[in-house]
Structure 1
Amino acid sequence: MNQPTLFIDRDGTLVLEPPTDKQLDALDKLELEPLVIPALRDLQAAGFRLVMVSNQDGLGTPSFQLESFEAPQRMMLDIFASQGVTFDAVYICPHFPEDGCDCRKPRVGLVLDELRERRFDPQRSYVIGDRETDLELAANMGTEGILYRRGGADGGLDWPAIAARLLDRERTAEVRRTTRETDVTIRVNLDRSGPGRIQTGVGFFDHMLDQIATHGGFALDVAVTGDLHIDEHHTLEDTALALGQALREALGDKRGIGRFGHDRSQEPPTAPEQETSHFVLPMDEVRAECALDLSGRPYLVFSAEFTREKVGELDTSLVEHFFQSLAQTLGATLHLSVTHSGNAHHQVESLFKVFGRALRQCIRREGHQLPSSKGVL
């Protein structure tokens, strides 16, 4: 599964905790926290799985009978469901603090199956609650905790602020790839632009990576130590593999992205070009074309006949291999071509530029829906 998941406390977070006896044991005590429904609806639509995790002291004992708990609990879940908000699981600890159980928050007994079966992605999941024990539970689960406060009081966040934070968070990733031949570190931030720091040891290749980031509209840092005393093959290959992986990790579940690369600033394309999201970029005497789909299916179609074997220190025969490796780890269907005549520098640079421009359209956020009829990318 490995989904982004919200583990949400109940009393004081989803519903008002009764101020007198702290027990929600009657229907007339049921009151939802302000604006919780629209916030959860938006978060669920953005791909978050919802799980309720609650301590209910002495549930099932004479002081808090099960029947008294069940009626408001069912009503609460019915109200949420009527508004399109559904909980994938509900975990309740019925014990008193002095019982010393393993399931009472902040211990992880309630969510042990979640941890064992890796049902959630720790990097994209959160525990939300109004108590310090909720934040401690987050730490014990290896994820982040968010303190809820009605109206954003006392340094906490209310539901609109929580939704804004989680839906508008920057998409970043850092990947390090180390082999006997190279040591590559890539950092990307898809929601900020450069300038970045790019050092691969191959000057012209640095310039090409900068073209991808500049025209892609994102921040990119690259640091590479490679076996350039042999040649630049491993440096280009491993940088491409690490870059594709970093881009894919930063995209997360890909909800809200454009997915297809295209450019509305060009002249109106023909109907077939609209279907393939065709991007055309002229650079002096050469013309490069790119069609890009972040489909999850790696595939490269490449057409180029370079007029020189080298541009600076870069062997032009490695350009195709760079894009093949990049498409592999990015999970992209990529069609690239450039005119077979002209200045070789322009031929290579136009390919990196046109890819960057297509990538900019693919990664641009346009909402929170998943751009696939299959329900997965």
Structure 2
Amino acid sequence: MNGKKKALFIDRDGTIIVEPADEQVDSLEKLEFVPGVISALASLSGLGYEYVMATNQDGLGTESFPEETFRPAHEKMLKTLAGEDVRFDDMLIDPTFESEGAPTRKPGIGMFGRYLTGEYDLAASYVIGDRLTDVLLARNLGARAILLQPREHGAAQIAEAGLSEVCALVTDRWAEVAAFLRAEERTAVVSRSTRETQITVSLDLDGLAPSSISTGIGFFDHMLEQIVHHAGVSLSVEAHGDLQVDEHHTVEDVAIVLGEAIFRALGSKRGIERYGYALPMDECRALVLLDFGGRIDFEWDAEFRREKVGDMPTEMFRHFFKSLAESARCNLHVSARGENEHHKIEGIFKAFARAMRMAIARNVFSYELPSSKGVL
């Protein structure tokens, strides 16, 4: 998070509303929304993007396209969107004809001056439109593009124009656009390097990427893999530590980096369930109480009679979860009972993963903060 603003620069005709054959929405009868656009834009309203409409309206204000024929349908469109809490922070409308070659006409960036001052993180912003000019605009702004076209046809256009690195998604379904942008928020990559360890963790809370775990501690890898499977996340952990000394630094630092990755990937926390879980495993039972509310508290009620399980010291399990709780800024209460030490600790990791799965689950139709205080 760099503190800068980010924006969705959204085309109008062909993207928000259907573009008629004559390319002018100049009457209420011609006003028709692109399927899925209203619910998609409403579902994205909590992700921190400013909504900026950016549209070319050929000859607007001339005899061929008078303002009085443009405004009724335009205002009706805006009123309908506002009824679903979708409002634009800015509207950029270029009225020139393509033949004029005006710098304000997309894909030119002449009307985007306020977004080029460094206040906006354009690399984290998107241009969404149905034409190649929208993808070119994204390139010119230093943003990424989403092309609203049938995938095969649109991908061919992008490849032919050499814009594959700019265009992040090609789809003709607004539901896929919304899912893509929501997934973008739910990822994090965190690295930590000390004299004892070098750790990199990549986390995708929606499980959209392959997973790989390598810490040099076999049983620890096995336990982290339980988080992948039972939390439904994608997790890559690459850890190099001073195992010739002992396992302490590696386990502790993986916990710190993983906790930080969870915290960052949760982002605004809007719409998450927040809480989560108990489960039995053979003769054992494990209870994990979890709250991603932003405050730190840790309780541990589990004892082990063996010094090690596999190649991992049992004393490190408590330390792992304590470090993770502090780094993830969460309440984490863990208890376990049972006879088999392997089952007991595996039950704890599985219960934690299931609690995490419950807590990070997000209602795509509601982006309220799960707090009566209005802040987490």
Structure-1 residue corresponding to 2:213 = 198
CA contact (8 A) 1:10 1:52 kept: yes
- Please list, as runs of the form range in 1=range in 2, the aligned pairs for 1:99-110 lying within 5 A after superposition: 100-101=102-103, 103-110=104-111
In 1, Cα distance between equivalents of 2:286 and 2:43 = 40
1:334 Cα deviation after fit = 1.2
3-state SS, counterpart of residue 260 of structure 1: coil
In 2, Cα distance between equivalents of 1:119 and 1:143 = 10
- Please list, as runs of the form range in 1=range in 2, the aligned pairs for 1:1-377 lying within 5 A after superposition: 5-17=7-19, 19-20=21-22, 22=23, 24=25, 26-27=26-27, 30-35=30-35, 37-44=37-44, 47=47, 49-57=50-58, 69-94=70-95, 98=100, 100-101=102-103, 103-114=104-115, 116=117, 122-123=123-124, 125-149=125-149, 154-155=153-154, 157-158=171-172, 161-167=173-179, 172-192=187-207, 196-262=211-277, 279-281=278-280, 284=283, 287-339=285-337, 344-370=341-367, 372-373=370-371, 374-375=373-374, 377=376
In structure 1, what residue type is equivalent to 2:81?
F
CA gap of 1:16–1:211, structure 2 versus 1, over 3 A, is closer
1:291 Cα deviation after fit = 0.4
Structure-1 residue corresponding to 2:165 = none
User: Identity of paired residues, percent?
Assistant: 43
1:376 Cα deviation after fit = 5.1
3-state SS, counterpart of residue 359 of structure 2: helix
CA contact (8 A) 2:271 2:370 kept: no
CA gap of 1:135–1:360, structure 2 versus 1, over 3 A, is same
In 2, Cα distance between equivalents of 1:165 and 1:88 = 20
3-state SS, counterpart of residue 235 of structure 2: strand
In 2, Cα distance between equivalents of 1:333 and 1:109 = 50
Structure 2: runs of 5+ lacking an equivalent: 155-169
TM-score normalized with structure 2 length: 0.75
Q: How many residues align?
A: 352
3-state SS, counterpart of residue 187 of structure 1: strand
1:355 Cα deviation after fit = 1.1
Structure 1: runs of 5+ lacking an equivalent: 263-278
1:200 Cα deviation after fit = 0.7
CA contact (8 A) 1:193 1:217 kept: no
CA gap of 1:355–1:69, structure 2 versus 1, over 3 A, is same
CA RMSD for the aligned pairs?
Answer: 3.8
CA deviations 1:27-77 (Å, max 9, x no partner) are 457523432554445434664653211234565678766666545433332
In 1, Cα distance between equivalents of 2:57 and 2:208 = 48
Structure-2 residue corresponding to 1:273 = none
CA contact (8 A) 2:41 2:178 kept: no
